[in-house]
């Protein structure tokens, strides 16, 4: 049944908040007839950035235009609206949890994690990643985001120390302005718009994948449902490496470690290992109990193998530039230790992209 387009969301009572995001709010709601949906709605003046409403429009359109053979791969779309607020209602997957939770709680063994990656890679690379004629927008978005991050560092009293020549995890890093100028003039940046464009998921984190919470069957890893397509900047088409880079940023444990500040950081409030100025270090705190699910189970290698089988070797420079871009996007809207780690990640990845 096609989704209805409404002037405003239908009457419902919030049952459970699922995610209070930077730009939008996601919650389970109960309708007057007792049925449940998942509602994703813009935050208006409470948004941490300008992308929320445009992104929700793009997400709703993405879900509404999926081909029939992909509809079982996503939660169903029930309704959209776009007046005083912008948002949409999707199906409530009763008994499902996000795969990030499965990873953190170590509910899968290694074979199950690889089976899930195998199923995801098959459907993503062979079915979802179809050729796209959408106008390429990633290059301009990368440039804009890096400039915003540069301005943030310039204006931040605790981060402007990262603008010059520094070392990050023993990697010599050129001044940020030199890095950006080299990137803007490089072929690696142009490759994102000149390479064949495919439809992407765009926000391929483990938290945007659902599986039944309790299922001991052999096909448990194959009951995968995707939610929340389109990146926060509206990226829904582009180079296929975009989806792999997003996936690995979470599946390696890096993104949850940064969000929860489960990090080892040196060089800001305390000297680097040898006491030398302008030397910084960041790493995931693998001794933290909350990170053991990512330490003990490999959630990413099989996915990369399938990418390489389908698309060929990973372009390291393009991959690192994407990692710098992902980090830069969060430098401008986070704070504290997370912001410090994101800034160091951005600076080091830019340098690796220039090698």
Report how many domains make up the chain. 2
Do 82 and 102 lie in one domain? The reply is no
Mapped to the 3 state alphabet, what secondary structure does the chain carry?
A: CCCEEECCCCCEEEEEEEEECCCEEEEEEEECCCCEEEEEEECHHHCCCCCHHHHHHHHHHHHHCCCHHHHHHECCEEEEEECCCEEEEEECCCCEEEHHHHHHCCCCCHHHHHHHHHHHHHHHHHHHCCECCCCCCHHHHHHHHHHHHHHHHHHCCCCHHHCCCEEECCEEECCHHHHHHHHHCCHHHHHHHHCCCEECCCCCCHHHEEEECCCCCCCHHHCCEECCCCCCCCCCEECCHHHHHHHHHHHCCHHHHHHCCCEEEECCCCCCCCCCCCEEEEEECCCCHHHHHHHHCCCCHHHHHHHHHHHCCCCHHHHHHHHHHHHHHHHCCCCHHHHHHHHHHHHHHHHHHCC
Residue 23's pLDDT is what?
78
Domain of residue 20, CATH code? 3.30.200.20
Supply 323's token pair: 């990692």
Do 228 and 121 lie in one domain? The reply is yes
Do 83 and 108 lie in one domain? The reply is no
Do 117 and 131 lie in one domain? The reply is yes
Supply 271's token pair: 């000297």
Domain boundary among 92, 118, 140: 92
Average pLDDT over residues 204-215: 94
- Contact call for residues 177 and 348 (beta carbons, < 8 A): no
Do 130 and 177 lie in one domain? The reply is yes
Domain boundary among 92, 125, 151: 92
Do 87 and 110 lie in one domain? The reply is no
Do 151 and 271 lie in one domain? The reply is yes
The residue among 22, 116, 67, 75 whose CA lies nearest residue 225 is: 75
Average pLDDT over residues 15-25: 87
Do 38 and 147 lie in one domain? The reply is no
Q: Rounded distance, CA 120 to CA 224, Å?
A: 8
- 218-250 confidence digits (pLDDT tens): 899 899 999 999 987 889 999 999 999 999 999
Domain of residue 322, CATH code? 3.90.1200
Q: Rounded distance, CA 343 to CA 355, Å?
A: 19
Q: Please indicate, yes or no, whether the overall pTM of this predicted structure exceeds 0.85.
A: yes
Task: List CB contacts of 134: < 8 A, sequence separation 6 or more.
Answer: 197, 236, 237
What Rg value do the Cα atoms of the chain yield, rounded? Answer: 21
Q: pLDDT category, 2, cuts 50, 70, 90? A: low
- Contact call for residues 8 and 83 (beta carbons, < 8 A): yes
- Contact call for residues 179 and 162 (beta carbons, < 8 A): no
The residue among 265, 335, 306, 8 whose CA lies nearest residue 129 is: 306
Helical axes 138-155 vs 176-184, angle rounded to 10°: 170
Do 81 and 111 lie in one domain? The reply is no
Do 193 and 75 lie in one domain? The reply is no
Q: pLDDT category, 39, cuts 50, 70, 90? A: very high
Residue 256's pLDDT is what?
97
Do 75 and 111 lie in one domain? The reply is no
Q: pLDDT category, 271, cuts 50, 70, 90? A: low
Distance of CA 156 to the CA centre of its chain: 25
Do 12 and 131 lie in one domain? The reply is no
Domain boundary among 92, 117, 142: 92
Instruction: Provide the β-strand partners of residue 167.
Output: 172, 279
Q: Rounded distance, CA 207 to CA 225, Å?
A: 11
Residue 346's pLDDT is what?
98
Supply 201's token pair: 């998921």
- 57-103 confidence digits (pLDDT tens): 999 999 999 999 999 999 999 999 998 889 999 999 999 999 999 99
Which structural domain, as residue segments, surrounds residue 106?
A: 97-353
Residue 102's pLDDT is what?
95
């Amino acid at each position: 049944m096609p989704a209805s387009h409404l002037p405003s969301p239908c009457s419902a009572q919030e049952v459970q908040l699922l995610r209070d995001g930077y730009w939008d709010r996601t919650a389970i709601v109960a309708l007057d007839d007792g049925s449940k949906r998942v509602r994703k709605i813009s935050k208006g003046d409470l948004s941490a950035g300008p992308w929320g409403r445009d992104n929700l429009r793009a997400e709703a359109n993405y879900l509404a235009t999926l081909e029939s053979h992909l509809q079982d791969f996503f939660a169903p779309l029930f309704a959209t609206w776009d007046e005083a607020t912008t948002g949409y209602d999707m199906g409530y997957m009763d008994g499902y949890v996000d795969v990030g939770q499965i990873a953190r709680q170590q509910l899968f063994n290694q074979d199950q994690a690889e089976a899930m990656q195998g199923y995801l890679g098959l459907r993503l690379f062979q079915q979802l990643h179809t050729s796209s004629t959408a106008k390429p927008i990633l290059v301009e978005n990368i440039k804009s985001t890096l400039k915003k991050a540069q301005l943030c560092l310039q204006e931040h009293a605790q981060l402007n120390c990262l603008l010059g020549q520094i070392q990050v995890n023993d990697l010599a890093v050129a001044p940020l302005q030199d890095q950006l100028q080299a990137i803007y003039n490089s072929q690696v940046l142009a490759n994102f718009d000149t390479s064949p464009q495919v439809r992407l998921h765009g926000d391929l984190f483990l938290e945007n994948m659902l599986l039944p919470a309790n299922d001991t069957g052999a096909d448990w890893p194959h009951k995968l449902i995707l939610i929340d397509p389109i990146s926060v900047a509206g990226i829904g088409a582009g180079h296929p490496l975009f989806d792999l880079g997003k996936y690995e940023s979470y599946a390696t444990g890096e993104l949850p470690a940064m969000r929860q500040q489960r990090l080892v950081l040196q060089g800001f409030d305390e000297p680097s290992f040898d006491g030398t100025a302008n030397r910084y270090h960041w790493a995931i705190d693998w001794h933290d109990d909350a990170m053991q699910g990512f330490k003990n189970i490999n959630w990413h290698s099989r996915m990369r193998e399938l990418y390489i089988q389908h698309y060929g070797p990973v372009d390291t420079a393009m991959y690192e530039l994407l990692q710098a871009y992902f980090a830069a996007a969060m430098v401008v809207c986070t704070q504290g230790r997370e912001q410090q780690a994101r800034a160091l990640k951005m600076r080091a990845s830019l340098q690796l992209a220039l090698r």
